[in-house]
Structure 1
Amino acid sequence: MTRRHRRSAGSTIGGGRWLLLALALVAAQVAILLAMGQPAICACGHVVLWQGDVTGPENSQQITDWYTPSHIIHGMIFYALARLVLPRGRMSARLLLAVAIEVAWEIAENSPPVIERYRQQALAQGYVGDSVLNSVFDTVAMALGFLLARLLPVGVTVALALALEVLVLWSIRDNLTLNVVQLVHPIEAVSRWQTGK
């Protein structure tokens, strides 16, 4: 087998097709979220780059918020996962897999059962799901994390992920780790600590 044939045998998506497929996945994400009744933008009627009030009505409604770092970390995790699942696949195929996982999560996260489950968490009492704008930028943040993991040494990537977790924990008493723990099995002591009680 020639070098060219070996390369093509290990790749599943070439050229610009992966980008079109990724954009199609995000378009499906938008269409499904709108069909599920999620608002296109914040009900407040304006769009801002950053929303820092984690308990306010604009959380998960604007372009970025305190949960954006969690999605960057998603990308780092998905990069490692894609390397395991597609060891000989092109980077474009791996990124497409990561986008597919993130899009599936964004849709699941905004389903009524998961929204209701989130509402049981101390910091998500009035959570109504993401705006479509916020959800799409969560996917963009994941892609950023994926590309950072691709470009940075493993040790730097791990250190950056830990730094993001610590920063968000220190800032709002929540992060990706606590979010997953509280979603899967809420711990009353964590809830009390998060609300400062």
Structure 2
Amino acid sequence: MSSTNLSHSGLSSRRWLLAALVLFLLQIAALYAMGRIPICECGYVKLWEGGVNTSGNSQHLSDWYTPSHIIHGFLFYGLGWLILRRAPLTARLSLAVLIEAAWELLENSPLIIDRYRNATMALGYSGDSIINSAMDTVFMTAGFFAASRLPVWLTMLIAVFFELLTGYLIRDNLTLNVLMLVWPVEAVKTWQGGA
């Protein structure tokens, strides 16, 4: 490959990286415009919130749903590999950030907040703080880059481990979250409630 092609490739990658950063900043700005609170109403930021059905859940830097966002990164890396195989990794990252940011905005809309309250175990869910939502995208990005470096079998093993761990410890995970959001099952809701 000639030095001209290499410099063009590097410029293209930087542009896609900038696009991903702009999408991330637009996510934060849109959440602010939607009236989401910047940080937990408690007035401080914690590295980890271990309570699932607490007022601090989805308000701090990380929580029991962080593994789900890492798995999003695994899945979005796979999607990008399938549909943008010849594009630079940063182009695929931009697609992943676009999807994650769109989900974060939808997840924090009254439609989805009410759906979570009515159909899932998240009875008191009031949406994410901006910092939590932003960190969800950061963790998705970490999962994306991990999937780009790890063997497929190890990425899948980590995803299954995260699903089993959170399913066991909090009776929720990405699979159950999607199921209960799309097609609520009363028996699952009862089990998640501890009955």
Residue 87 of structure 2 corresponds to 89
- Check conservation: 2:13, 2:91, Cα contact below 8 A: no
Matched-pair identity in %? 53
Structure 1 consecutive aligned stretches of length 4 or more whose deviation exceeds 4 Å: none
The aligned runs of 1:46-195 (5 Å cut-off) are: 46-195=44-193
CA distance in 1 between counterparts of 2:174 and 2:13 reads 34
Q: 2:118 is paired with a residue of what secondary structure?
A: coil
Q: How many residues align?
A: 192
CA distance in 2 between counterparts of 1:135 and 1:169 reads 22
Instruction: Decide which moves more: 80-89 or 115-124.
Output: 115-124
Residue 23 of structure 2 corresponds to 25
Unmatched 5+ stretches in structure 2: none
**Residues 140-187 of structure 1: per-residue CA shift (max 9 Å, x gap):** 010011111111000000000000000100110000000000000111
CA distance in 1 between counterparts of 2:10 and 2:100 reads 20
CA distance in 2 between counterparts of 1:178 and 1:12 reads 41
Q: 2:59 is paired with a residue of what secondary structure?
A: coil
Q: CA RMSD in A?
A: 1.7
Residue 39 of structure 1 corresponds to 37
Using structure 1 for the length normalisation, give the TM-score: 0.93
**Residues 2-37 of structure 1: per-residue CA shift (max 9 Å, x gap):** x559x78xx797242222211211111111111111
**Residues 22-67 of structure 1: per-residue CA shift (max 9 Å, x gap):** 1211111111111111100001101000001000001000000000
Instruction: Decide which moves more: 77-86 or 13-22.
Output: 13-22
Q: Which amino acid aligns with 1:134?
A: N
Unmatched 5+ stretches in structure 1: none
- C-alpha distance 115-135 of structure 1, shift in aligned 2 (>3 A): same
